[in-house]
């Protein structure tokens, strides 16, 4: 019996390469490769004396300073104060940025009223505004949280407005044919479709928020990582400076990881498959 072939004569059947994801262990190893290399370089430069201790503290001196701050100072309390300031400020700024960005992206009138003014305010360096906030709110928590909120408003506004504008209008029209209007249309269709840009805005907001946190805490702050940072700078305590910088970095990495996990849960279809 003659075999039947499904391929058409004269045509070459295309070969489809199977994309195989990397294993979790290999992916984790690649992610920690550069940090471990930087740590090794830090250890080498300080351990061999290439870099003097008054320029850069060694890993062992930094670890000793960290333990000393934990046992003899209220380092854990300072970390909690800084994280709380950051979360409250980013929550306020991101919520306002999301509201304004969605309004600007949805309505032409909203864009005409808001966009030019917010773009102008965005060009003002936010560290300069801290002096106004101190005059208006004093040197307490309100001024610090307000500075973080102001700094994080603009990244969220830009991402949210662009995300809403880039929503496929055909999908919106299809939703309208099913009777979705007003808040149901915005909350059920437009915002979910713009969520990739909104989550990117949240990541950018946290990054800028940490920068604003450093500025807010090093100016008239009695507690927080920034207060320790300023004290270490004043007393030339290089090891304590390293502790503060590493803590800021760890907070940023942890928050970015949380946002990434949130993105994976809310948008599982956007998971990218790594190629070997």
What CATH number is given to the structural domain containing 213? 1.10.3720.10
- Greatest pairwise CA separation for the chain in angstroms: 94
What pLDDT is stored for residue 274 in this prediction? 42
Residue 191 lies in a domain: yes
Q: Angle at Cα 29 formed by Cα 273 and Cα 62, nearest 5°? A: 135
Q: How many domains does the chain have?
A: 1
Residue 140 lies in a domain: yes
Residue 88 lies in a domain: yes
Residue 85 lies in a domain: yes
Residue 89 lies in a domain: yes
The dihedral sign for the CA sequence 132, 137, 139, 145? negative
The 10s digit of each residue's pLDDT in 235-257 is 888 888 999 999 998 988 888 88
Q: Angle at Cα 203 formed by Cα 206 and Cα 119, nearest 5°? A: 80
What pLDDT is stored for residue 12 in this prediction? 54
Strand runs (DSSP E) across the chain, as ranges?
none
Give the DSSP letter of residue 237: -
Q: Which residues contact 99 (CB under 8 A, 6 or more apart)?
A: none
What pLDDT is stored for residue 51 in this prediction? 78
What pLDDT is stored for residue 92 in this prediction? 94
What pLDDT is stored for residue 270 in this prediction? 59
Residue 48 lies in a domain: no
What is the full per-residue pLDDT of the chain (276 aa) written as tens digits? 444 444 445 555 555 455 566 667 777 777 778 888 888 888 888 888 787 878 888 888 888 888 988 887 788 888 998 999 999 999 999 999 999 988 888 778 877 788 888 888 888 887 778 778 878 887 778 888 988 999 999 999 999 888 888 877 777 777 677 666 666 677 677 777 778 888 888 988 998 999 888 888 877 778 888 888 888 888 888 888 999 999 998 988 888 888 888 877 776 665 554 444
Q: Torsions phi, psi of 64, nearest 5?
A: -65, -40
| Rounded Cα gap, residues 58 and 238, in angstroms | 10
Range of the domain at 117: 77-221+243-268
């Amino acid at each position: 019996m003659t075999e039947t072939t499904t391929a058409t004569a004269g045509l070459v059947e295309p070969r489809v390469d199977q994309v195989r994801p990397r294993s979790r262990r290999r992916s984790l190893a690649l992610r920690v490769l550069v940090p471990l290399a930087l740590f090794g370089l830090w250890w080498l430069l300080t351990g061999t004396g290439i870099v003097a201790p008054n320029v850069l503290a060694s890993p062992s001196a930094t670890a000793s300073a960290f333990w000393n701050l934990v046992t003899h100072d209220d380092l854990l309390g300072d970390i909690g104060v800084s994280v709380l300031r950051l979360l409250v400020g980013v929550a306020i700024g991101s919520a306002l940025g999301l509201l304004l960005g969605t309004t600007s992206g949805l309505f032409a009138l909203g864009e005409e009223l808001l966009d030019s003014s917010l773009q102008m305010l965005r060009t003002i360096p936010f560290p300069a505004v801290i002096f106004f906030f101190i005059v208006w709110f004093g040197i307490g928590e309100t001024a610090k949280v307000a500075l973080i909120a102001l700094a994080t408003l603009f990244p969220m506004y830009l991402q949210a407005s662009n995300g809403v504008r880039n929503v496929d209008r055909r999908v919106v029209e299809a939703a309208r044919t099913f009777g979705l209007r007003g808040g149901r249309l915005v909350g059920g269709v437009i915002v979910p479709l713009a969520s990739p840009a909104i989550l990117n805005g949240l990541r950018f907001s946290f990054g800028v928020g940490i920068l604003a946190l450093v500025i807010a805490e090093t100016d008239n702050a009695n507690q927080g990582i920034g207060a320790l940072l300023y004290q270490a700078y004043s007393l030339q305590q290089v090891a304590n400076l390293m502790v503060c910088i590493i803590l800021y970095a760890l907070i940023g990495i942890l928050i970015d990881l949380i946002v990434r996990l949130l993105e994976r849960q809310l948008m599982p279809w956007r998971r990218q498959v790594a190629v070997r």
